[in-house]
Structure 1
Amino acid sequence: MKISYNWLKDYIAINESPETIGDVLTQTGLEVEGIERVEKIPGGLNGLVVGEVKTCVPHSNADKLKVTTVDIGADELLPIVCGAPNVAQGQKVIVATVGTTIHPATGEPFKIKKAKIRGEVSQGMLCAEDEIGMGTSHDGLLILDTDKPNGTPIKELFETGEDFVFEIGLTPNRGDATGHLGAARDLRAYYNRPLLFAEEAPKPIKENQPIEVYVEDPVACPRYSGVTIRNIKVGPSPDWLQWRLKAIGLSPINNIVDITNYVMMSLGQPMHAFDAAQVKGNKVVVKSLPQGTKFTTLDEVERKLDAEDLMICNESDGMCIAGVFGGIDSGVKDSTTSIFLESAYFSADHVRATAMRHSLSTDASFRFERGTDPEMTLPALHMAVDLILKLAGGEVASEYVDIYPTPVEPVSIPTTFRNFHRLIGVDIPNERIIEILNLLDIDTKDITDEGFVAVVPAFRSEVTREADLVEEVLRIYGFNNVPLEESLSAGHLASFSEKEPYKLQENLSLFLAGKGYSEIQTNSLTNPKYFEDLKLGQDPVEILNKSSEELGYMKTSLLYTALESVRHNINRKIKNLKFFEFGKTYSTKEGKYTEQELLGVYLTGDDHEEHWISDPTPQSFYDLSGTTRAILSQLKIDTFETRPTQDDRFAYGLDIVLNNNTIGSLGLLKSSITKYYDIKQDVFYAEMQWAKLIKAAKVEKQFTPLSKYPEVRRDLSLVLDKKVSYDEIHRLAFKSEKKLLTRINVFSVYEGENLEEGKKSYALSFYLQDETKTLTDKVIDKVMNNLIRVFEKEIGAIIRK
């Protein structure tokens, strides 16, 4: 949710910096995730000046260009080549001088440079309104009507205001803070300053042509207010209103719709304006429609209604899904002359269920789902009517409708001061507790030395118990103002599993980061088209309450979203990538759901950027294999095997097998997969089942002392059949010598001349070490001779001397 710094000033006097206000809002429970500086006109018109065209003649080498000289108040006239059709001598125009950065309405900003255009020198630019972000017209130059001297900065002629917008991560329990007034209430409590909000007086009725209202479901709609306004003129909103909405990311539509949005963002009360001509029978009926009734919403999507969906109807048809989305036929149009203005209080549960059923999330449903203020329907209506009469004309044509059969009563909560002190951990003065609650519009009565009764207004629907009152006081008093003891202790330490999955994951993440990998975290939801086209993974889990069709499935493969990240980086010229991801996949079979946690590792591009001292080398399968073995080594898993992969995602690769169970696979992804994502370079991928890795991992010792005795190296050169893999050599060696053999290294592999067809040669280093004594030549020779016999017998090796 976005809140404007300038807009807040309408409701509370603040002169603190936006950064300070952001800190205060965060401390009081409205977490500010970011502060963005926004400009009414991008670039603030900096560097643009008033110029006067002194001469204007056709360009000798271009029919559509003119060569001008322009006076900008300098000692010399500027020669400027211009292609605008309306440029003429004597005009006052906007000039962008050399060095000025232009911020066009569309496209990227660019800097004006001295240029030669078709042989003519040009030292600046004469500007149209779209070229400087002041509008969208590109019909010709923006001609100025001003007596200002040439060279006057353009920003002295136009308002170029700026604002600061807070991005607030609003939690579901803070329905009271969905507008600027709600944020101002928290600031009022923190600074102890008065609110500036005063309810508008209802406007007098000029004629009485009412639209009747009937509420058939008072549970789903406890309060419904409205009024009829006639003889309005729909048109663009004034500049100030458009600027307010644009600053917080809303697009202006027309004066009526903009006013309803302005009131909603001001007070947190959604509103809706119906074209009175579409209210058949002059009746508004709040009810549900039969199951399966078809209704087309403003986004031109035809939806089938549920019998539980609350609708705003006329005498015969539905006009709006209550609290969620308007209908395509009943909205305000340019031709609208009369409206029925709605301001209602809908049940949060009903709106939430309807929005989920139809996968709809709107500014209105966002607020109704969290709970709006039932006492705000009339103040919001009065504010909107006042603005409509000022900005769109017209007159009030009916009494104010207000159907409120069972008012929502404030909640009374008995409490004691002792519990405030106990739960907060510090003795806040009783008077300060009362003061904070009163500043938050929570009334207090029956106050004694022991306690009091708190009366919570309806707009604070989440405050229902004593602990909530304590939280309200603490967030204004300040969590940071509660001192911590110098030392904290616990009387009991819980027992923990010998293996801590999160600790293993953290350690492995740090290890991979140390090897140059970056961790990615991608969405669990993905595009159904990926599964339909690639069929990676098992049967997918479909989301019933989709936020969008592009996020309709739970992902059945890490690749779906990870390859989006790979593509995103490559498209931004970051082609050398090393990623890892701890993620989950989801599938379903015969109504049973399965969730699997995986570790994915991704390699693509070169091993390093271009450098004068060494050429980059493309990352290969062996780089990925080395990383995979290093991961297993970190987890102390050393009894695995590798076999040619059976995974059809890979052009080639290996499966990692432990106790005859495949726990992972790695290899080169098939080009059909990478090309689907428009990735034109090889991507190597390893996928390991994290739960099985945790189960197989050995608890790492805290410390292993270095051996006092030296390690010995002996080399062997083996000639083998090509079908014999290194893993077979490795397995045989450690099976034959379990005590002294510590590691094996391959330092050469050769195929070609001087070898029989179908043969290859491995040059291997064998490292031996005894933890208790220095190895003698006799022991070393015995071990090596034994290894030679095993290799000759088991895999037909020929030992090259």
Structure 2
Amino acid sequence: MKFPLSWLRAHLDFDADTATLCETLTRIGIEVEGVEDRAAPLASFVIARVIEARQHPNADRLRALRVDIGDGREYAVVCGAPNARTGLIGVAALPGAFIPGTGITLKVGEIRGEKSEAMMLSAREMGLGDDHSGIIDLPEDAPIGRPYAEYAKLDTIIEIKVTPNRGDALSVHGIARDLAAAGLGRLKPLPTPSITARYPSPLTWHIEDPRACNWVVGRAVRGVKNGPSPQWLQDWLVAVGLRPINALVDVTNLFTYGLGRPLHVFDVAKVKGRTLSMRMARPGETLAALNNKTYTLTEEDGVIADEAGAEALGGIIGGEHSGCDENTTECFIESALFDPVRIALSGRRHAVFTDARQRFERGLDQALPPRALDMATATIMELCGGEASEISEAGQEPNWRRHATLRFERLMGLGGMAVATDDAVARLEALGFATLQRDTASVTVAVPSWRNDIAAPITLDMDPGLDPTRAAAAREGCEATEAEADLVEEVLRLGGLDAVPAVSLPVPFAVPPPAVDAKQRRAITARRILAARGCQDNVTYGFVAQATAEQFGGGEAALRLENPIASDLNQMRPTPVASLAFAAAANAARGFADVALSEVGGGYRSTAPEGQLAMACTLRAGSTPANWAAPARPVEALDAKADAQAVLEALGVPMAGVTITTDAPGHYHPGRSGTFRQGPKTVLAYFGEIHPQLRDTLGLPGAAVAAEVFLDAVPEPKRRKKSPPDLPAFQPLRRDLALLVDADVPADNLLRAARGAERALVSDVVLFDRYAGERLPEGKVSLAIQITLQPRERTLTDAEIEAVVAKVVAAITKATGATLRG
């Protein structure tokens, strides 16, 4: 919310400067979001007089002016304003000045052959409004040469941020009240005008449905002359971002911002019939609103209606048909209370954001409608003339009166700050709380009508079988506790929130370790490992299109959704790789073909509990990122294998006991994929290149590889007592062997045979070369392995080493038929 200082001075008598004012607002919990010094951008503009205005010799719509700015010389100005004339006093800008309304910096130029050394400004060019019909026309006594900002005494505008519970702070008077309570200035009392009724009200109120309105009062004023508002009112409205319309409408905006009390005026001549009804909208009913939009209303919208239909969406926006204009001679002022929740829901339903809605949905001063009606009537009669009618009323004032009790010890207990009891009571009374009862330990106060956030009734979701007396007692206890906390906050904030000490919460016991089970640990570990490998973590839907599920080995009828959120998301996915593939394709379609994606999520194979699989999946597409050590290259199956192996190793899987087979599912390339197995039956992971046909179907333009790790298949590592690390005292030694083997024999068979030949000494076996080509028999390949021998009791002799190597070769030959190459 914005407000100019001159508007604040109409409600608060103070001498503090702007910096002190803003500091005080922030200290008492009203956050200042910005301060706009409207004079600063206009500092270089001066008041000038047009010495002569003549027709431009080369342009019909331009005038050539001679301008005096009071510095002893004349300036040539080319101007297109229709009101430019000899003797006019306006505002001039000289070369080098920045023009806020157009965003340009002025410089000397030539326009259609005539020199232009300065610029005469309109209100819009100066950033003071929307009027650009002509240059500013000042009174004849305006001093030539004086800075315009100094002459105009432009307001400083303050913008504040109001929390949702502080509806009373959405008014200049409410802000003034808080500042006065904090000791900055004296709050000016609101006037209480006495209105004499001159004739019966031409319109009467009728509340047809209490859901639409609780209480409404209204009064007509006839004989009004509606026209532009006085300049002071226009200036205030422009300062807060509103466009002045006419005096009657501007008065309602004056009270919306000034008192936080939205009003509405109807043109009596445009209302059909003599009754205005508060009712719920009828099915299909429409409203042509003041914002030039038409809304189709629902039965949940409260409206103000005449005999012809809806004339306003109650508490939100008025209708165009009955609005006041320059031809209005009799208006009818409405001041009502509406249900905040219904206002909020209707506003959201129709996407209508108005100042009235903002205030009604936060709660208004529930005792103010009659007084606001009198004040608005007096203001309209002062600005537009006329005489007032009798008041028309329907409904009744709600029972808003309530009280709250503050125990003084709670100031320290809840706020961590000791405040003298007299000071605490004085602060509450300064905010409008009236003391009802006080003793040495506590004070009970009456809550003012404008503080809907204090001691608000609490609705408890009680057990239906609970005794009503106990339920009422519990509710009353909750409300009392909530109200006391509200009062503590009010007392402390008036002393300055910056003065409230920071107090840590007590920790009566040690913080327990995180309660994470083995399955959750696996998921967390897998997610971190894949992120460390450069994959971007994803959270996608657990369902895909049926056709896609079938391509990834799923598509069972039992896993089809009866009520999918979209027609192409109607099947539970068999693997997260399907979802990642669509994400990669979407990135590629937008020019980002190189991606590395991961997801730890569910894959669904059946409706049984064991059919829901916890999986850690990756999908890499395009090329690997280039770096100083290696250029970019297309992703390959071994990248996916590395992802799966990194996750398995991090989860504690002993990789020496893991085998790799080539029986990956059909969505992988049959010759560029594999399966990690532990034993003959347990599948730990799949990896490989996405099948080319599937890749084309998915819209992946380049290479794409994936990996799927089944987290539930990973066995829990055996718990062993911690022991010192095994650091052998003897150096390991390595031997390289080249073996000739049939091309169809998996290398893994050869490695397992070598590891099992002499477990006491063979600590590691790795494959480091594969050769197939010239000088080898047909159907044979050469596999080169390195064997690491780790002695533990003594250094091995050459004979012992050769014996171990021979034993390894024999085991390999027996298992695979391989022979040692000469």
| TM-score of the aligned structures, taking structure 1 as reference length | 0.63
Q: Deviations over 1:568-588 (max 9, x none)?
A: xx9xxxx9x99999999xxxx
User: In structure 2, what is the equivalent of residue 8 of structure 1?
Assistant: 8
Deviation of the 1:376 alpha carbon: 1.0
Q: Deviations over 1:627-651 (max 9, x none)?
A: 999998999899999x99989xxxx
1:104 to 96, 101, 106: 101
Deviation of the 1:142 alpha carbon: 5.8
User: 2:53–2:63: 8 Å Cα contact kept in structure 1?
Assistant: no
User: In structure 2, what is the equivalent of residue 37 of structure 1?
Assistant: 35
Deviation of the 1:248 alpha carbon: 2.6
| Counterpart residue identity of residue 242, structure 1 | Q
2:488 to 445, 450, 473: 473
User: In structure 2, what is the equivalent of residue 399 of structure 1?
Assistant: 390
From the superposition, tell whether residues 10 and 733 of structure 1 become closer, same or farther in structure 2 (CA, over 3 Å): farther
Secondary structure of 1:264's match?
Answer: helix
| Counterpart residue identity of residue 50, structure 1 | A
| Counterpart residue identity of residue 110, structure 1 | I
Q: Deviations over 1:355-382 (max 9, x none)?
A: 3444444322222222211211122222
From the superposition, tell whether residues 644 and 222 of structure 1 become closer, same or farther in structure 2 (CA, over 3 Å): same
| Counterpart residue identity of residue 216, structure 2 | Y
User: 1:180–1:266: 8 Å Cα contact kept in structure 2?
Assistant: yes
| TM-score of the aligned structures, taking structure 2 as reference length | 0.62
Q: C-alpha separation between the residues in 2 aligned to 1:55 and 1:17?
A: 43
Secondary structure of 1:446's match?
Answer: strand
Secondary structure of 2:438's match?
Answer: coil
| Counterpart residue identity of residue 390, structure 2 | E
Secondary structure of 1:342's match?
Answer: strand
| Counterpart residue identity of residue 97, structure 1 | P
User: 1:70–1:79: 8 Å Cα contact kept in structure 2?
Assistant: yes
Q: C-alpha separation between the residues in 1 aligned to 2:132 and 2:599?
A: 51
User: 1:297–1:303: 8 Å Cα contact kept in structure 2?
Assistant: no
| Counterpart residue identity of residue 165, structure 1 | E
User: In structure 2, what is the equivalent of residue 284 of structure 1?
Assistant: 276
Greater Cα radius of gyration, structure 1 or 2: 2
From the superposition, tell whether residues 332 and 194 of structure 1 become closer, same or farther in structure 2 (CA, over 3 Å): same
Q: Deviations over 1:305-336 (max 9, x none)?
A: 30x43322224422112212222312223332
Q: Deviations over 1:514-561 (max 9, x none)?
A: 99999999xxxxxxxxxxxxxxxx99979xxxxxxxxxxxxxx99999
1:376 to 357, 364, 368: 368
Secondary structure of 2:196's match?
Answer: coil
User: 1:52–1:150: 8 Å Cα contact kept in structure 2?
Assistant: no
Q: List alignment gaps of at least 5 residues for structure 1.
A: 522-537, 543-556, 585-597, 609-615, 648-656, 675-681, 699-704, 716-727, 747-765, 794-801
Secondary structure of 1:374's match?
Answer: coil
Q: Deviations over 1:117-137 (max 9, x none)?
A: 78x796744234244445656
1:242 to 234, 251, 268: 234
Q: List aligned pairs for 1:499-538, cutoff 5 A.
A: none
Deviation of the 1:97 alpha carbon: 1.7
From the superposition, tell whether residues 243 and 66 of structure 1 become closer, same or farther in structure 2 (CA, over 3 Å): closer
Q: List aligned pairs for 1:595-744, cutoff 5 A.
A: none
Q: List alignment gaps of at least 5 residues for structure 2.
A: 456-478, 540-560, 567-578, 602-614, 626-630, 669-676, 718-723, 737-745, 769-785, 818-822
Q: C-alpha separation between the residues in 2 aligned to 1:320 and 1:15?
A: 43
Q: C-alpha separation between the residues in 1 aligned to 2:82 and 2:733?
A: 88
Deviation of the 1:256 alpha carbon: 1.9
Q: C-alpha separation between the residues in 1 aligned to 2:733 and 2:63?
A: 85
Secondary structure of 2:177's match?
Answer: helix
From the superposition, tell whether residues 303 and 601 of structure 1 become closer, same or farther in structure 2 (CA, over 3 Å): farther
Deviates more, 1:158-167 or 1:86-95: 86-95
User: In structure 1, what is the equivalent of residue 296 of structure 2?
Assistant: 303
Q: Does 1:324 align with 2:316?
A: yes
Q: C-alpha separation between the residues in 1 aligned to 2:584 and 2:250?
A: 40
| Counterpart residue identity of residue 217, structure 2 | S
User: 1:436–1:473: 8 Å Cα contact kept in structure 2?
Assistant: no
Q: Does 1:496 align with 2:514?
A: yes
User: In structure 2, what is the equivalent of residue 650 of structure 1?
Assistant: none
User: In structure 2, what is the equivalent of residue 453 of structure 1?
Assistant: 444
From the superposition, tell whether residues 422 and 89 of structure 1 become closer, same or farther in structure 2 (CA, over 3 Å): closer
Q: Deviations over 1:748-767 (max 9, x none)?
A: xxxxxxxxxxxxxxxxxx9x
User: 2:170–2:359: 8 Å Cα contact kept in structure 1?
Assistant: yes
User: 2:618–2:640: 8 Å Cα contact kept in structure 1?
Assistant: no
The number of residues matched between the two structures is 721
2:325 to 333, 349, 365: 333
Deviation of the 1:263 alpha carbon: 0.5
User: 2:343–2:361: 8 Å Cα contact kept in structure 1?
Assistant: yes
Matched residues, percent identical? 23
User: 1:49–1:96: 8 Å Cα contact kept in structure 2?
Assistant: no
Deviation of the 1:273 alpha carbon: 0.9
Q: List aligned pairs for 1:328-367, cutoff 5 A.
A: 328-367=320-359
Q: Deviations over 1:419-445 (max 9, x none)?
A: 555444454332233222222222222
Deviation of the 1:618 alpha carbon: 14
User: In structure 1, what is the equivalent of residue 781 of structure 2?
Assistant: none
Deviation of the 1:266 alpha carbon: 1.4
Deviates more, 1:71-80 or 1:472-481: 71-80
Q: Deviations over 1:392-446 (max 9, x none)?
A: x132330233445354241134554455554444543322332222222222223
Q: C-alpha separation between the residues in 1 aligned to 2:118 and 2:3?
A: 37
Q: List aligned pairs for 1:10-409, cutoff 5 A.
A: 10-16=10-16, 18=18, 20-30=20-30, 32=31, 34-38=32-36, 40=38, 43-44=41-42, 46-47=44-45, 50=48, 82=78, 84=80, 94-98=92-96, 100-104=97-101, 109-113=103-107, 124-129=117-122, 130-133=124-127, 152-156=146-150, 158-168=152-162, 170-171=163-164, 173-191=165-183, 194-218=186-210, 220-298=212-290, 299-306=292-299, 308-391=300-383, 393-403=384-394, 405=396, 407-409=398-400
From the superposition, tell whether residues 421 and 205 of structure 1 become closer, same or farther in structure 2 (CA, over 3 Å): same
Deviation of the 1:295 alpha carbon: 3.5
Secondary structure of 2:221's match?
Answer: strand
Deviation of the 1:276 alpha carbon: 1.0
Secondary structure of 1:210's match?
Answer: coil
Secondary structure of 2:367's match?
Answer: helix
Secondary structure of 2:279's match?
Answer: strand
Q: Deviations over 1:461-480 (max 9, x none)?
A: 33223332333233432455
Q: List aligned pairs for 1:574-613, cutoff 5 A.
A: none
Deviation of the 1:283 alpha carbon: 2.0
Two-structure CA RMSD over aligned residues (Å): 7.5
Q: C-alpha separation between the residues in 1 aligned to 2:588 and 2:147?
A: 46
User: 1:295–1:318: 8 Å Cα contact kept in structure 2?
Assistant: yes
